[in-house]
Structure 1
Amino acid sequence: MATTSSAIPLTGVPFPRSEYERRQRNVLAAMASAALDALVVTAHGHLRYLSGYDGSGGYFAPFPLIMVPGRSPTFVVRQYDEQAVRSYSCIEEVVAYTHQQDFGKMCADVLRRYGLQSKRIGFELGCWNLAVADVNALQAQLPGLKIVDATRLVSSVAAVKGELELECMRDAMRMTDLAVRTFQSSLREGVTEGEMAATMGAAIGEHASNAGGEVGLSGGGTILFGERTKLPHAPPSRHPISANEPAFLEIGASKHGYSVGMVRCAVVGRHPEAESLHTLAEEVIEALVDVVKPGISAAAVDAAGREVLKRSGRKGVFRQRTGYQTGINWTERGDLSLEPESNDILQVGMTLHMPNILCSENGYLFGTGAHVLVAERGAEVLSEIPNTLFRA
């Protein structure tokens, strides 16, 4: 049952309550358009977006945030994590369960109390942190429940950033730029990937400490040298870079969960194969930035980059999507994606990461990218670091 909370130092939410209420209103409006009687939010990034709490305790079982028109949101959480939820969220109505097998019954009790046992309820079926077993457990309690896939509902609202969110992303990009400049100034023959990661982390840590500790690197990033640039998403190792080898960096800083990404590459000496890839990637990025504007479809943006690749006669070097929506938890499934046949329409206030990472015949992954804000007149590039190849 719900209980009251006490003040605990260094807790709270990073934004004013009015900001969360604005987000919740926008989600409720989207629910109305989808003819939903309620929405059960379980994706951790979406929980953080709507409440402030990052959902970290939800590895145990879902921590659903139940949104119903005309009611304040209700959080259903594990009893062990209840105080953390209360301390790090703006949600006042918190209901607790104890064991994993209690999730379905407790969630069903809340829906039944609100008269929703046979209504149309949206679930984030395609997002992380909700398993088929969780949905089945709830359906067993409420056989008349009409389950609707609402995977993309919250992400479509969160795709358009407010001013406070954009401030976070700009701050995070300044830290990302610092990381890239540190990478470039520290790159030399013999330095290892792990040493580079430590040097970049120290630079960010020192700055974050001076700024109150609000900004940090989002994960370890991808730092790869030489033959290891053939490994997508590999962690930094003890491998050193040698003369005439490529270096690959994909990294992003984060503030209050708002992450920005950046791809920048370099060579120590010369590496014709990687340099040729980079030249092509720069052309693609320039075409993408030129075409991004409000009202264009995600598929049309993707097509603009692929057209450059097609004209080059090397379209086979690109083996992924063109880009994706960023903000809180940019790895969430269901977010806007720049790829063929995507009919999402870009709007003012959206932020997009477009990493143009190309693959050579010998398997080297190399390229550059852009992180942009969709503004009234087109794309605003958030980074101050040129997308050109750095030579050490």
Structure 2
Amino acid sequence: MRATGERRRGIAEQVEMFMVATIGSGIPWTAVPFPKSEYDRRQQKVLEAVARAELDAILVTAHGHLRYLTGYHGFGGYFAPFPLILAPGHAPIFVAREYDAEAVRAEGCVEEIVPYTHQHDVAKVCGDVLRRHGFQNRRVGLELDCWNLTPADVSALRGQCPDIRIADASRLVASVAAVKSELELDVMRQAMAMTDIAVRAFQNLVREGVTEMEVYASIAGEVSKAGGELWRSVTLVFGDRAKVPHGAPTPHAIRSNEPAMVELGGAKHGYAAGLVRSAVLGRHPEAESLHALSVEALESALAAIKSGVSASVVDAAVRKVVERSGRRRVFRHRTGYQTGIHWTERGNLSLEPTADDILEAGMTLHLPIILFGETKYLFGCSEHVVVTGSGAELLSRTDHKLFHA
């Protein structure tokens, strides 16, 4: 254990040391969180997937995938797509808005940046790059089912390169990003340490009359005091507001004999470690019954997880528990999903009935088993895990059993 702890400290030191390095930008500070060798490894893995898919190139446009492959956070990408063009035998090319070019250069690790000025220019610039490398009539993958690419973008690119053969590569980068390196796993563990601080603050504050906003403010304060940050999306609901999916904190106060539920995640370098934890102030039979079933279903899923198992098998383990209870309608969503950078990215691995993805060691998954009660309460728990060859490693150190206040 001591050797493992020393290795993890070494990884963390590598990451922090790289934060003050420069990538040839002339700017004395960058926000690239990993060594360039890590991004080179990721890009090479994607290029290998490109070859397996019999593509000549890929245009990566999803924010999460861009951040994964380059380090650039993508905050300027609201304007229009910032395509990253990857092709075997060619250096990566980042097509980005001219206004943001220096940020892309300073906060990413791609040397060649080709700028455009106005939104209607992006297809022309991409077309010019593709023609320069001879890809205007080749088979090129686009992330057609991911955020940040519209039908108009695809149509405009076709207008520039009428003979291009477009293939859907929506899941290509996601499949590579699903398996984490040791550097990524270290960041995920650091993010979960902040999640656990947040959960303990939530549990310590559930008492008569406290409001959701007050609890959230205290949670944020505790995480900040520990030097961490929270993922931007937080669910925090008390009492009847536990009937609101993804309910953000409000001035609503909790009363005796009411439920409380929180879903949040600590974050580091864009990696979020989400968790669902629930509490009851006093007694609430319906919420307590739902939570007991969610625990049983969650633990069945955890027992099914290991490298080589299909995602649908894990989902089936949950549904079997729910069906055996005779309350099939309480479970109305998927069992879980792939996590990492931008855990809401479309195209990511999903634990659901039709999923044929095979779990691999190093994948990280969030399993929120939130159930619907007869009076529309949503209540449950989750775990965030690393898939291993023999099972699931829990990242959180807080118990998923119901907390009684």
Distance apart, 1:12 and its partner CA: 3.7
Match of 2:158 in 1: 139
Match of 1:232 in 2: 245
Alpha-carbon distance between aligned partners in 2 of 1:177 and 1:136, rounded to the nearest angstrom: 46
Match of 1:335 in 2: 348
Alpha-carbon distance between aligned partners in 1 of 2:76 and 2:164, rounded to the nearest angstrom: 26
Q: Is the 8 A contact 2:29 2:106 kept in 1?
A: no
Amino acid at match of 1:69: P
Residue 291 of structure 2 is aligned to residue 278 of structure 1: yes
TM-score (norm 2): 0.93
Residue 64 of structure 2 is aligned to residue 64 of structure 1: no
Amino acid at match of 2:226: H
Q: Is the 8 A contact 2:180 2:362 kept in 1?
A: yes
1:353-374 deviation per Cα after TM superposition (whole angstroms, max 9, x unaligned): 0000000000000011111110
Q: 1:341 to 1:6 in 2, by over 3 A?
A: closer
Q: 1:205 to 1:10 in 2, by over 3 A?
A: farther
Amino acid at match of 1:321: R
Alpha-carbon distance between aligned partners in 1 of 2:51 and 2:26, rounded to the nearest angstrom: 36
Q: Could you tell me the percent identity over the aligned residues?
A: 59
Match of 2:140 in 1: 121
Q: Which of the residues 19, 23, 33 maps onto 2:52?
A: 33
Distance apart, 1:55 and its partner CA: 1.5
- Give secondary structure in 2 for the equivalent of 1:176: helix
Match of 1:53 in 2: 72
Match of 1:219 in 2: 232
Structure 2's unaligned 5+ residue stretches are 1-22
Match of 2:15 in 1: none
Distance apart, 1:231 and its partner CA: 0.4
Alpha-carbon distance between aligned partners in 1 of 2:172 and 2:273, rounded to the nearest angstrom: 22
Amino acid at match of 1:342: A
Alpha-carbon distance between aligned partners in 2 of 1:234 and 1:186, rounded to the nearest angstrom: 18
Residue 281 of structure 2 is aligned to residue 297 of structure 1: no
Amino acid at match of 1:268: L
Match of 2:11 in 1: none
Alpha-carbon distance between aligned partners in 2 of 1:157 and 1:45, rounded to the nearest angstrom: 12
Q: Is the 8 A contact 2:310 2:356 kept in 1?
A: yes
Match of 2:104 in 1: 85
Q: Which of the residues 269, 294, 297 maps onto 2:282?
A: 269
Amino acid at match of 1:181: R
Alpha-carbon distance between aligned partners in 2 of 1:303 and 1:258, rounded to the nearest angstrom: 28
- Give secondary structure in 1 for the equivalent of 2:346: coil
Q: Is the 8 A contact 1:5 1:83 kept in 2?
A: no
Amino acid at match of 1:90: C
Alpha-carbon distance between aligned partners in 2 of 1:9 and 1:245, rounded to the nearest angstrom: 53
Q: Is the 8 A contact 1:41 1:64 kept in 2?
A: yes
Amino acid at match of 1:26: K
Match of 1:361 in 2: 374
Q: Which of the residues 205, 213, 224 maps onto 1:194?
A: 213
Match of 1:212 in 2: none
- Give secondary structure in 2 for the equivalent of 1:250: strand
Match of 2:203 in 1: 184
Amino acid at match of 2:132: R
Match of 1:256 in 2: 269
TM-score (norm 1): 0.96
Distance apart, 1:5 and its partner CA: 6.3
Alpha-carbon distance between aligned partners in 1 of 2:233 and 2:280, rounded to the nearest angstrom: 21
Amino acid at match of 1:291: A
Q: Which runs of 4+ in 1 moved over 3 A?
A: none
Alpha-carbon distance between aligned partners in 2 of 1:326 and 1:78, rounded to the nearest angstrom: 28
Distance apart, 1:10 and its partner CA: 3.4
Q: Which of the residues 167, 174, 188 maps onto 1:169?
A: 188
Match of 2:334 in 1: 321
Residue 178 of structure 2 is aligned to residue 159 of structure 1: yes
Q: Is the 8 A contact 1:258 1:327 kept in 2?
A: yes
Alpha-carbon distance between aligned partners in 2 of 1:281 and 1:170, rounded to the nearest angstrom: 24
Amino acid at match of 1:194: M
Alpha-carbon distance between aligned partners in 1 of 2:249 and 2:399, rounded to the nearest angstrom: 24
Alpha-carbon distance between aligned partners in 2 of 1:192 and 1:11, rounded to the nearest angstrom: 39
Alpha-carbon distance between aligned partners in 1 of 2:218 and 2:74, rounded to the nearest angstrom: 31
Q: Which of the residues 104, 111, 131 maps onto 2:130?
A: 111
1:106-159 deviation per Cα after TM superposition (whole angstroms, max 9, x unaligned): 000000000000000000000000011011111001000000000000000000
Aligned length: 383
Alpha-carbon distance between aligned partners in 1 of 2:279 and 2:320, rounded to the nearest angstrom: 25
Q: Is the 8 A contact 1:282 1:368 kept in 2?
A: yes
1:245-289 deviation per Cα after TM superposition (whole angstroms, max 9, x unaligned): 000100101111111110000011110000000000010011011
- Give secondary structure in 1 for the equivalent of 2:237: strand
Distance apart, 1:345 and its partner CA: 0.3
Alpha-carbon distance between aligned partners in 1 of 2:157 and 2:331, rounded to the nearest angstrom: 43
Amino acid at match of 1:61: A
Amino acid at match of 1:361: E
Q: Is the 8 A contact 1:226 1:246 kept in 2?
A: yes
Alpha-carbon distance between aligned partners in 2 of 1:5 and 1:282, rounded to the nearest angstrom: 51
Structure 1's unaligned 5+ residue stretches are 209-214
Q: 1:6 to 1:286 in 2, by over 3 A?
A: closer
Amino acid at match of 1:125: L
Amino acid at match of 1:260: A
1:314-372 deviation per Cα after TM superposition (whole angstroms, max 9, x unaligned): 12101100000000100000000000010000000001000000000000000111111
- Give secondary structure in 2 for the equivalent of 1:327: coil
Amino acid at match of 2:397: E
Alpha-carbon distance between aligned partners in 1 of 2:401 and 2:29, rounded to the nearest angstrom: 42
